[in-house]
Amino acid sequence: MQIGILALQGDFELHQTTLNRLEVKSTLIRKPSQLVDCDGLIIPGGESTTLVKLLRNIELIAPIRHFATHRPIFGTCAGSILLATEIANHSMETLGLIEATIERNAYGRQIDSFIYTLQLNLNDKKYEFEGVFIRAPEIKSVGQDVKVLGVVSGQSEGENIVLAENDQILIATFHPELTQDDLVHRYFIDKVRTKSKN
């Protein structure tokens, strides 16, 4: 099993460090041909509009969409924005791979970044996870085929969705690679492993 990590911008090296710690083979993706040998893909944080331009420039948008038809993708922070079908407060092209409406920079600027204890429900088990939010987006709503896996409460009225998935796609509005807790990465790895057997 090998997981690709989009390496155009953002904290891709920390995702690779996490995979190395879990003894999972990984490779950095900078061109379409490198996706061929991957069983899963991670799209890290960064600046979402810049990431879209870079993907377009190296003709990676269509290959990633095709990749998602048979292999799982995990998007964190800006990566979750790229994977969503709709951006509530910005007009930009997305990959449109998970039915979700996301608001960019929902909690404010970089100075408004925060750490918050999340409640995650993975494989019908409940976990607490330290979520690191940096210029984070907010998942405003999801479609019927999307399962909510985690929320953050207390930051605004009600509970905000921070982790969700459909059959192929996993999105997180926080940065799991910035902690030493491998829970979310292990969940994605299990998703990849299950799909690679099918």
pLDDT tens, position by position, 55-106:
999 999 999 999 999 999 999 999 999 999 999 877 788 999 999 999 876 5
Active site residue 70: no
Neighbours of 51 (CB within 10 A): 23
pLDDT of residue 157: 47
Q: Residues 15, 77, 165, 185: which is the catalytic one?
A: 77
Q: Residues 38, 138, 165, 175: which is the catalytic one?
A: 175
CA gap 114, 105 in Å, rounded:
13
**At 180, which amino acid appears?**
Q
Structural domains in the chain?
2-197 (3.40.50.880)
Active site residue 175: yes
Cβ atoms of 149 and 163 within 8 Å: the answer is yes
Cβ atoms of 80 and 137 within 8 Å: the answer is yes
Give every CB contact of residue 32 below 8 A, 6+ residues apart in sequence.
58, 59, 60, 63
Active site residue 159: no
Question: What global pTM score does this model have?
Answer: 0.92
Q: Residues 103, 138, 165, 177: which is the catalytic one?
A: 177
